Amino acid sequence: MSAPAKKLWGGRFSGATDPLMERFNESIHFDRRMHLADIRGSQTYAGALAAKGIITEDERKSLHDGLEKVLGEWEAGTFELRQGDEDIHTANERRLSELIGSVAGKLHTGRSRNDQVATDMRYWLREECERLDKFLTELLRVVVDRSEAEVDVLMPGYTHLQRAQPIRWSHLLLSHGWSLEADLQRLRSLVGRFNLLPLGSGALAGNPFQVDRQAMAKELGFAGVMPNSLYGVSDRDFVAEFLFWASLTMVHISRLAEDLITYSSEEFGFVQLADAYSTGSSLMPQKKNPDSLELLRGKSGRVFGSMSGFLMSYKGLPSTYNKDLQEDKEPMFDAADTLEGSLQITASVLATLTIRPERMRGALSTNMLATDLAEYLVRKGVPFRETHHIAGAAVKLSEDRGGVPLSDLSLSDLQGLHSSFASDVTSVFDYERSVENRSSEGGTSKATVLAQCKAMRAGLKQ
């Protein structure tokens, strides 16, 4: 191993750093993944310095080309870390100096690692959000495709995990889809809020060489610049907001996973997971466990933990940059990695899932049409509060007779509860009719479910 690299901040110090402190301080093992962002920011900053005459055009080109070589080494997997490469910025500048000589020392003119790291993180997260957008969009396409294809399948809807009213399987899928669609919109609005350039803020007080920050922002794909240099180097709200977005999205994935875990059990048997997303038991040969869904449910806690942990580090910091902010990257990276995997696994589980329509329909019972019975009387002019009581009495009567289906009660039985019951009451005991009656916007009728599919698909095309 060659001699340790000279520290970017070492001029004021004469004593050696404790090796334990060296390891405690370094972040290269996790922030190395921002190498592209760091290099693109440095190339752009070199151009800004050249535009102000701080370096020559030849020096700018040397810096640009040297950084491109450094990038090539990272992408080829041949970049060699050295002792003293405490972070991605130090490592890149050290290697640049080895490649092009002393001119590399001009790159940091007027720049601080404070505005550099803030720029790298925003650049990296913006690119990551584009990937997450694609994965989330694909998951929503799976939801819409299945909802359209399986719109005729009926199943029980539940409240309190008790059978409530008949619904369409597609209506249930879309209920999860709309939560995820809201997550997609939140992700896109999040990018719009944080896509501002900190570069040019210096350590905290700004840049003394009047570099054109707007031009740098445009070149790097930012919508504008951070309007205050203190704010520019200290703000990590975008990390907190991303972690909140990731936590909420994982909550929605977890809730979908919980429904599918429940419905895949033998007690329900509504769905069956593909073998590719299930495991067996080391003891019980008959078991088929929904491990993919359980992992998704479990990882929601991991992401939430990252958010709460970071907020505890962030909440009490004085202005501007403090080393505590080194704790911003690992939770951001981990949450991003977890979301990438989770979104893809969820889409694959849904795409390969087998539904069992006969089990879903077999779980329907005419007692679930008690509300429809009450609504029948409403259409006869009886106030709903009264019809609710009458329908409840009908359910009680069916239970008192040994749990016979509600539909087995005779007309005279029902007329004994209210004189408005007539022979057409038999039309109430039809599951398809029940779901088709829920035809107001957002309901579970076929037309309204397909309208949801159309609206969701139109949103995805945007």
The residues annotated as belonging to the active site are 160, 281
Residue 445 CB: number of other CB atoms within 10 A? 18
CA distances, 360 to each of 179, 327, 417 (Å): 23, 48, 32
Asked whether 83 and 70 are in contact (CB, 8 A), the reply is: no
SS3 225: strand
Considering only CA atoms, which of 281, 284, 428 is closest in space to residue 368?
A: 428
What number of residues does the chain have?
462
Cis peptide bond prior to 320, omega within 30° of 0? yes
Burial of 291 (0-12, 13-18, 19+ CB in 10 A): middle
DSSP helix/strand/coil, 42? helix
The amino acid at 187:
L
State the virtual CA torsion across 235, 195, 336, 259 in degrees, nearest 10.
110
Q: Hunting for tokens 């405490």 — which residue is that?
A: 86
Nearest CA among 265, 145, 249, 139 for reference residue 187 = 249
Distant-in-sequence, close-in-space partners of 352: CB < 8 Å, separation ≥ 6: 273, 274, 276, 277
Query: Quick one: CA torsion of 88, 93, 95, 100, rounded to 10 degrees?
Result: 160
Q: How buried is residue 287: exposed, middle or buried, by Cβ count under 10 Å (0-12/13-18/19+)?
A: exposed
Largest separation between any pair of C-alpha atoms in the chain: 101
What's the rounded Cα separation, in Å, for the pair 287 and 284?
6
